[in-house]
Structure 1
Amino acid sequence: MSVAFRIDPTEFAGKRVVVTGGTMGAGEAIVTRFARAGAKVVTAARSQPQSVGLGVHFVQADLSMPEGIALLADQALSHLGGVDVVVHCLGGSSTPGGGFQAATEAFWQQELSLNLLATVRLDRLLVPQMLERGEGVVIHVASIQHRLPLHESTIAYAAAKAALATYSKALSKELGLSGVRVNTVSPGWIRTSAADRMVERLAESGGIDEQTARQSIMDALGGIPIGRPAWPEEVAELVAFLSSGRAASIHGADYVIDGGTIPTV
């Protein structure tokens, strides 16, 4: 089960969009959302997906490495002739549980490269052509962990996303008068296929049903008041809104989409 929204197929007609991390989860939903609304989309991943949608150009590249970012930027500009919207959805954590002592130098470097430096590098290559035209949209997908870190399992990821949110705010202040808008989207738990697989593993290892396993994850987050994770399509709708002319005066903001998980103002 997921959610479906009515989409205007001309909403982003003529727009040129780059989405990192666009072959799975929320990133895939964002790619699909833009493509269905008429945009030309370029995305990238390490492995070739089984298929990409109409209007989507795929670049095989490791975006945690500078050369992978350079390849994506070069092919995006060549294929599209320019970029109007860039959505940085790349991210993830592979650091083992166990707190700060379990996170080695190599893990820290990996988390920072994937969750922070890839974004900084791509912005350096794509934002200048937006500045030349005097218009563009940059969206950084962070995480509620930059405000609500899970220290035992994702300390490096949370720190990198906190740095990303700070970088995004600083960039918005620098670009405020240029016509290029910069915003952050901070999701909580999203019900992706990877999240469902995690629930299945937890249920199997604990000898419990999947609903109980899913609830245990929500409890670990301190609860989700709406009673469920967000669907990827819901995150994609927020990104689409912030990329549209309807959000023309929204700049330097951090939009949380977590079902109320963060318990404070």
Structure 2
Amino acid sequence: MDYSLNGKVALVTGGTKGIGKAIADALRDMGAQVIVIARTEPEEALKEQHFIAADLTEAGTAEGISKKVIEKYGRIDIIINNAGANLSPGGGFSVLEDEHWINDWQLNFLSVVRINKAFLPAMIAQKNGVIINVSTNAAKQPIWEMTMSYSSAKAALNAYSKALASELGPHGIRVNVVSPGVVETPLMLEFIDNMAKASGTSREEAFKKVMETVNVPLNRMAEPEEVARLVAFLVSDNATYITGTNYSVDGGALPTM
């Protein structure tokens, strides 16, 4: 099986930490030129990767990024829309204000739409390319106490991705979704800490509640690299007939196939 990405140009949003960093490193190791987008510069210098600081929730940002990348590299082959987070407080509908819904939809849905729209003219002109939109299993199995607005934005992302795959297939462009479950990332640990603080419990008790709520048969969180390995397969030439599909990486937590 050929996992080489030599000569390919790949963009990874939210690529300085957690799942995004694992994906960016994997694509770099496969030979791709990787451009990493994040709000703030990484604590450690990126190895053989091009970093662009940007806030993707701001309208117009995506166009500026696209112009820089196409001018510098002349093409775009892979887009990994990984940037996203559960920004809102838990507790259900009564604690969610308009700003919570707007913030979650801006980051988890509209930022993806904007990046894809900005880069797709170049990808269509090439007549090939791959887009991976990183979603979450919470879009299929929302947890009202924890993920209501976040889940709704990611559910919209899933529907958008399916529609986009149908539209872009004739242009030689594949679009797939990867939906992680609970993954041991800085954002997840911060979420658990905030949950513990809000409930007046310890991190261990909050973690136990999350695992009991999600019900992971493998009984552990995923490592970011376990998600990255699936992404690496989907963007490679080993997956040239796979598009419009949503893959769960959740340790068996989703109760349906």
Write the mapping of 1:1-265 to structure 2, written as runs, cut at 5 A: 11-199=4-192, 205-207=200-202, 210=204, 213-221=206-214, 223-265=215-257
Aligned with 1:259: secondary structure? coil
Is the CA contact 1:52–1:58 (under 8 Å) kept in the aligned structure 2? Answer: no
Distance 2:236 2:162 in 1: 19
Q: Which ranges of structure 2 fall in alignment gaps of 5 or more residues?
A: none
Distance 1:214 1:103 in 2: 23
Q: What whole-Å deviation, never above 9, does each CA across 1:159-217 have from its counterpart, x for those lacking one?
A: 00000000000001111121100101011101113334555676785257x4x553332
Displacement of 1:51 in angstroms is 2.7
Is the CA contact 2:178–2:231 (under 8 Å) kept in the aligned structure 1? Answer: yes
Give % identity: 38
The total of aligned residue pairs comes to: 254
Corresponding letter in the other structure for 2:142: P
Corresponding letter in the other structure for 1:206: T
Distance 2:171 2:190 in 1: 43
Displacement of 1:105 in angstroms is 1.3
Instruction: Tell me how large the CA RMSD over aligned residues is.
Output: 1.9
Displacement of 1:104 in angstroms is 1.3
Aligned with 1:22: secondary structure? coil
Q: What whole-Å deviation, never above 9, does each CA across 1:134-171 have from its counterpart, x for those lacking one?
A: 10001100100110101122211100000000000000
Task: State the TM-score, normalized to the length of structure 2.
Answer: 0.92
Aligned with 1:96: secondary structure? coil
Corresponding letter in the other structure for 1:264: T
Task: State the TM-score, normalized to the length of structure 1.
Answer: 0.90
Q: What whole-Å deviation, never above 9, does each CA across 1:83-120 have from its counterpart, x for those lacking one?
A: 10000001112211221122111111111110000100
Distance 2:29 2:169 in 1: 30
Distance 1:101 1:79 in 2: 48
Q: What whole-Å deviation, never above 9, does each CA across 1:3-23 have from its counterpart, x for those lacking one?
A: xxxxx9x82111100011111
CA separation of 1:257 and 1:105: change in aligned 2, threshold 3 A: same
Counterpart of 1:4 in structure 2 is none
